[in-house]
């Protein structure tokens, strides 16, 4: 059967339902495989659960201590990690710009796993609020909630919920509230590689107020 004929056979709702079922199956298999090899708080490879959140949490603790500068030295940073989690703890690289700490420092007040759980809950709520928009159909909301990217983002402890919420919000506000959109794009410099094409797109479409707002927001 040709792809075009297959597409006509199912309505959009049928397609979303099937994608949701597939996403649920992927999630169940992924979680069973992950936790069968995990000894909390460490995963099968010796990383902490939510491995990349270690950097966020360490940065937050350093910000509260008032001296995050040493973390930019690879050797010093990993020595600090090993002093906390043991000499066999895998190496990490602190690669975020300093202004990320303006958003993450409150997580330094909590133990690692509590901070990681709160990070995921807040990020997921923001992501769902922005990505779903005004969507109310349950099968589509479930698809947003358990897509593979969401699951991987949670288990990797990444900041994708926050950056995607800022990017989607900025794009949706671009014509209605260009200054606010620019502020959101400026904040996205906490993950600079995500903004490589944004300045070009804004310039080509003549969104100069947004560009000015983003330039004023982005740290120098």
pLDDT at 30: 79
- Tell me which DSSP letter residue 39 carries: B
pLDDT at 49: 92
Q: In degrees rounded to 5, what are phi and psi of residue 38?
A: -110, 140
Per residue in 102-133, pLDDT tens? 889 999 999 999 999 999 999 999 999 998 88
pLDDT at 154: 92
Residue whose entry in the numeric block shows the structure tokens 């922005």:
130
Per residue in 159-212, pLDDT tens? 999 999 999 999 999 999 999 999 999 998 888 777 677 888 899 999 999 999
Cβ atoms within 10 Å of 112's Cβ, excluding its own: 19
pLDDT at 2: 54
pLDDT at 70: 84
pTM above 0.95, yes or no: no
- Can you tell me the distance from the alpha carbon of 42 to that of 173, in angstroms, rounded to the nearest whole number? 41
Q: Where are the domains of the chain?
A: 12-158
Plot region of 50 (φ>0 → left; ψ -120 to 50 → alpha; else → beta) = left
Cα 66–Cα 53–Cα 160 angle in degrees, nearest 5: 115
């Amino acid at each position: 059967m040709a792809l075009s004929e297959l597409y006509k056979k199912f309505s959009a709702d049928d397609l979303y339902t099937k994608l949701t079922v597939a996403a649920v199956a992927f999630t169940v298999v992924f979680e069973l495989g992950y936790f069968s090899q995990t000894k909390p708080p460490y995963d099968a490879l010796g990383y902490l659960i939510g491995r990349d959140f270690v950097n966020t949490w360490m940065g937050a603790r350093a910000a509260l201590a008032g001296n995050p500068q040493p973390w930019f030295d690879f050797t010093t940073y990993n020595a600090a990690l090993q002093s906390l989690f043991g000499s066999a703890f895998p190496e990490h690289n602190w690669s975020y710009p300093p202004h990320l700490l303006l958003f993450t420092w409150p997580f330094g007040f909590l133990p690692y796993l509590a901070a990681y759980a709160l990070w995921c809950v807040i990020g997921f709520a923001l992501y769902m609020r922005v990505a779903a928009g005004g969507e109310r159909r349950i099968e589509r909301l479930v698809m947003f909630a358990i897509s593979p990217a969401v699951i991987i983002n949670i288990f990797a402890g990444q900041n994708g919920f926050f950056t995607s919420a800022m990017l989607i919000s900025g794009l949706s506000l671009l014509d209605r509230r260009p200054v606010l959109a620019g502020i959101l794009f400026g904040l996205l410099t906490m993950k600079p590689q995500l903004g490589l094409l944004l300045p070009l797109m804004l310039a080509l479409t003549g969104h100069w107020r947004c560009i000015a707002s983003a330039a004023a927001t982005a740290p120098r």
